[in-house]
Amino acid sequence: MMQVIYLEWECPNIALEMCPYFAVEPNNYQPNDRTMKHLLHALMAFLLILSGVPEASAQCTTTNATSCECPGGGSECDLLPDMTISWYALLNYLSGPNEANGRINITGSTPNIGHGPLEVRGVDLNGYRRFVCGTDTFTVYDPNAQQQFACPNGGTAKQLTTQRVFHKNGSTMTSYERVMPQGMTYHPTHGHTHYDQWGIYSLRMQESGVSDPRDWPIINSGYKLGFCLMDYNTCSDGAVNNHCKDNNTQYNSGTTLHGSDFPNFGLGGGNYGCGMTRQGISSGYTDIYSEYLDGMWIDIPSGTCNGDYWIVYEVDPLDVVIEEDNSNNWTAVPITLTQQSNASSVAKIHCDEQAFVCPGAQVRLKASAGTSYLWSNGATTSTIMAGPGTYTVQVTSYCGTATSAPFTVAGLAQAAAPTAEGAIVCEGESAELTTTAGNAVWYDGSMNQVATGPLFTTPALYASTSYSVVDVDVSPGQVSFGGKTNNNGGGTYHAGGQNLKFNANRSFRLNSVKLYAGSAGYRTIELVDAIGVLRASRSANVPAGESRMDLDFDILPGNNYLLTVSGGADLWRDFGSVAYPYDVAGVATITSSSSGSDYYYYFYDWEVEEGAGTCVSPATDVSVVVELCTGVDEPLALRGFEVYPNPNNGQFAVSIHLLTSSNVLLDLTDMMGRSVLQERFMAPAGQVLHAMELEGAAAGIYNLILRVDGRVFQRRVVVK
């Protein structure tokens, strides 16, 4: 009898086809991301070698751009990727979405249909790696990614990776790198990094009259922490026939693409695999995350009834990658649920911000997903814009029809428009403006804030101008406390890397939490949502012992939030007298910790606030009239002094309005005070326009000094 032996690769940092392997006993084997993707990649590489598929056209490689084509033609361009997500694979790969009671497992195939590869590097081209620990970034010279990095003060490191972009200039191929704005999860034991939020997928209810599926009401979402980016199949491989299309956003549409349809097919090498050094997807290749892998599912909330729904899948949803087209990274496919336990119909109203508004303002209210809606104001859409008042909604779903509990949008107070008087001043003088506003904010004619408080002293003025002032009414909210009150019970100081999990029942502000620190030092507290996106972060110097740390996190309704410490913690955790769930004033429920229900991590006595807000009064205009004053000992000879255009490229004009003929000196200095251009001339009375040119000007800010009749005037000049 033939015995099946599964293989697992020992050396993920080198080309897979050159890596030795060892056997794993079949009875002990459990498929995971690493093993399955490595085995299939190795098989693919072997088949490609046998079939003779080239890395790319011989003269279109990462070192030779002779035959590479630019989008739209031309001889010079960045050869960018264009990531898509296959609706065909979502519906058909491994027999399509597999439904169970409470979950749908799905597959994501992500073809790169662009002119260049998606190459993500954990080691930049100069041999450096970058890691983030709390508020600190560490750069490590490690060209072969052989060193395991650990945060000096404990905690979990995030890796900052770079995207390598290839650039064609005629036959010459060069490249440059950009640090990607999203950290990647660092996993040294796997020998590579994970791509955060590589895919986000959601189960939705179609809404009549709304064309974009990404705007349809959501039942629930899931996300994929990308295990690695790799060349899983070519678009010419029969196993992925119909995955690669010129338009994957529209279900049941798009022209299927094969290798010959890609002008730069294989650019990137076709051999991207898992590794700390480089990952990627070549042009004309796709990566596949199969439905049996961790995270490839959407949990279906209890109470969801059988019926017709849609799955919406977005790849690189945060637009971390520079691409040819960021608008085609999604698709949507229909699905009919048949295995859910039907329940009573439910109707709820949600608001993604605190429902307290100023007069004339509105908030968006959302109904729970259904097939039709009827609001108390007569609206029939899933969302409405609502001002102060109380609302209900009737939702019809596959479970039946239900009416929500009343939802109130509260109004905040608004101050009346303040009174303020204008002023008349002589040229070159400042005006003192006053107002009755208790919390005044002043603006100039371009609505730039220039001052606060009841008294505003303007700068020296040479022409009539206008300002405006408003009164700001601050409404304090309802402050409450909740969660585990203190650290009474068994426990110890803990290094970090754990979190509390909680649900937000409605929008609120988390003002502060109580901490117990074993040592003084900076701590960075992070709020992470259910799909792994960092929503808020705050760092502060925390003293040893008990203290409160201000957070001021605005939190939207939703489940499965995480509150955690990035980097080292040395904060108290309880493992005695822990009793979940913990109510937080009705606005939130702390449900558990990352280590289960026996531990309570770090954050005690939550201070939350609802209903706080500010309303700005109508603005009051304040005019300042500037006059030419006579009968003074030294009347001003200058009436106007302006520079335009500003900013400029080193060529600009100076407008001077003189009352009498005067000897004028113009002196342009850099920010160090060094003169870079001087011009002296006799100017007649009236409006004078004088051209100036700074040859070979370096970009920056300069100071233009005008000297006339013993007076000095200045203007900033910006050269781009």
User: How is the chain split among helix, strand and coil, in percent rounded to 5?
Assistant: 5, 45, 45
Identify the residue whose tokens are 């449900």. 591
**Span 618-641, average pLDDT:** 73
Which pLDDT value is given to residue 494? Answer: 93
**Predicted confidence band of residue 190 (pLDDT cuts 50, 70, 90):** low
Nearest to 215 by CA among 383, 387, 394: 383
Q: Are 555 and 510 in contact (CB under 8 A)?
A: yes
**Predicted confidence band of residue 188 (pLDDT cuts 50, 70, 90):** low
Report domain extents, the chain: 76-337, 349-411, 478-610, 637-719
Highest mean pLDDT among 42-46, 113-117, 181-185, 692-696: 113-117
Which pLDDT value is given to residue 4? Answer: 26
Which pLDDT value is given to residue 711? Answer: 74
**Predicted confidence band of residue 35 (pLDDT cuts 50, 70, 90):** very low
For the record, the structure tokens of 242 come out as 């119909």
**Predicted confidence band of residue 14 (pLDDT cuts 50, 70, 90):** very low
Q: In this predicted model, which residue has the larger pLDDT, 61 or 101?
A: 61
**Predicted confidence band of residue 548 (pLDDT cuts 50, 70, 90):** very high
**Predicted confidence band of residue 187 (pLDDT cuts 50, 70, 90):** low
Q: Which fold has domain 478-610?
A: Jelly Rolls (2.60.120)
Q: Are 83 and 316 in contact (CB under 8 A)?
A: yes
Q: Are 717 and 668 in contact (CB under 8 A)?
A: yes
**Predicted confidence band of residue 155 (pLDDT cuts 50, 70, 90):** low
Nearest to 254 by CA among 235, 281, 229: 235
**Span 352-362, average pLDDT:** 92
Which pLDDT value is given to residue 191? Answer: 63
Which pLDDT value is given to residue 628? Answer: 66
Strands (E) located in 338-397:
349-351, 356-357, 363-367, 372-375, 383-386, 389-391, 393-397
Strands (E) located in 487-581:
491-494, 499-504, 508-517, 521-528, 534-542, 545-555, 558-566, 571-574
Which pLDDT value is given to residue 609? Answer: 96
Q: In this structure, what is the dihedral angle of CA atoms 236, 241, 243, 247, given to the nearest 10 degrees?
A: 80
Exposure b/e, 39-73, CB count within 10 A at least 16 = b: bbbbebbeebeeeebebbbeebbbebbeebbbbee
Phi-psi region of 307 (alpha: psi -120 to 50; beta: other; left: phi over 0): left
Furthest CA-CA distance within the chain = 117
Task: Name the average pLDDT for the chain.
Answer: 87
**Span 683-709, average pLDDT:** 88
Tens of pLDDT, residue by residue over 451-479, are 999 999 999 888 889 999 999 999 989 99
Residue 430 pLDDT exceeds 60: yes
Share of the chain above pLDDT 90, in %: 63
Exposure b/e, 373-393, CB count within 10 A at least 16 = b: bbbbeebeebbbebebeebbb
pTM of the predicted model as reported, rounded to 2 decimal places = 0.73
**How far, in Å, CA of 258 to CA of 284, rounded?**
7
**Predicted confidence band of residue 49 (pLDDT cuts 50, 70, 90):** very low
Residue 209 pLDDT exceeds 80: yes
Q: Are 370 and 217 in contact (CB under 8 A)?
A: yes
Residue 83 pLDDT exceeds 60: yes
Q: What is the DSSP code (8-state) at residue 611?
A: S
**Span 145-172, average pLDDT:** 86
How many alpha carbons fall within 13 Å on the CB side of residue 568? 16
Fold agreement (478-610, 637-719): no
Tens of pLDDT, residue by residue over 505-531, are 999 999 999 999 999 998 889 999 887
Residue 37 pLDDT exceeds 50: no
Tens of pLDDT, residue by residue over 289-310, are 999 988 899 999 888 999 999 9
For the record, the structure tokens of 178 come out as 């950009």
Which pLDDT value is given to residue 315? Answer: 94
Which range has the worst mean pLDDT, 74-88, 177-191, 419-433? Answer: 177-191
CATH code at 637-719: 2.60.40.10
Residue 2 pLDDT exceeds 70: no
The total of other beta-carbon atoms located within 10 Å of residue 298's CB is 23
Q: Are 188 and 170 in contact (CB under 8 A)?
A: no
Residue 268 pLDDT exceeds 90: yes
Tens of pLDDT, residue by residue over 123-135, are 999 999 998 877 7
Which pLDDT value is given to residue 496? Answer: 85
Tens of pLDDT, residue by residue over 643-687, are 889 899 999 999 888 878 889 999 999 888 889 999 999 999 888
**How far, in Å, CA of 621 to CA of 196, rounded?**
50
- Residue 44: which H helix or E strand, with range? helix 33-51
For the record, the structure tokens of 585 come out as 């004033």
**Predicted confidence band of residue 192 (pLDDT cuts 50, 70, 90):** low
Q: Bridge-partner residues for 221, per DSSP?
A: 202
Burial of 625 (0-12, 13-18, 19+ CB in 10 A): middle
- Residue 48: which H helix or E strand, with range? helix 33-51
**Span 353-358, average pLDDT:** 92
Tens of pLDDT, residue by residue over 375-406, are 999 999 999 999 999 999 999 999 999 999 99
